[in-house]
Amino acid sequence: MRPVCRLLLPSLVALSLGACSLVEAPPQVRGNKVDSVLLNELVVGTSTRADAQALLGTPTARGTFDDDNWYYISETTRPRVGRVQGVEAMQVVALNFDQDGVLRGMKTLTEADSQDVGMVARTTPTPGNEQTIMQQLLGNVGRFGGLGSQTRNTGTSGGGL
């Protein structure tokens, strides 16, 4: 192999691999992202549920026990090569209405406001016996009779049809 080919081939491979990092996938918005300009049009004390829905659209979620809390949840992600989606931004807009449907409070929460939820390491007990694998595999051996002990209806008994 010529010396020029030895240098040219690795250089072409390095350039082609380097070009992969230059092309980025566009960000993807998931959920219902609220435009801050539209959010500023809502006025606490005068805007209603109908106003909020006309400006922001249908909420992503509503309060579990009442219909007075509306949540607009969004997340901006970007695909990453060889990894899962990377989260670039999170936003939750919480609107609180009174019984008459008038806006009483607005709050915008970001990833900085989030809290980690720890998983519980306990296991749920289940009824039954603690058996080894061999006990489970051989547990039914000898429990049931063989084919000879089963009664079969052959139609040869007296008094048939």
pLDDT at 1 over 90: no
pLDDT of residue 125: 80
CA distance 86 to 26: 12
Instruction: Please provide the distance, in angstroms rounded to a whole number, between the alpha carbons at the two ends of the chain.
Output: 95
Element (H, E) at 95: strand 86-97
Model confidence pLDDT, tens digit, residues 104-117: 999 999 888 888 88
Model confidence pLDDT, tens digit, residues 42-97: 999 999 999 999 999 999 999 888 889 999 999 888 887 777 778 888 999 999 99
CA distance 58 to 52: 9
pLDDT of residue 126: 79
CA distance 95 to 21: 41
Element (H, E) at 50: helix 49-56
- pLDDT (mean) for 17-26: 59
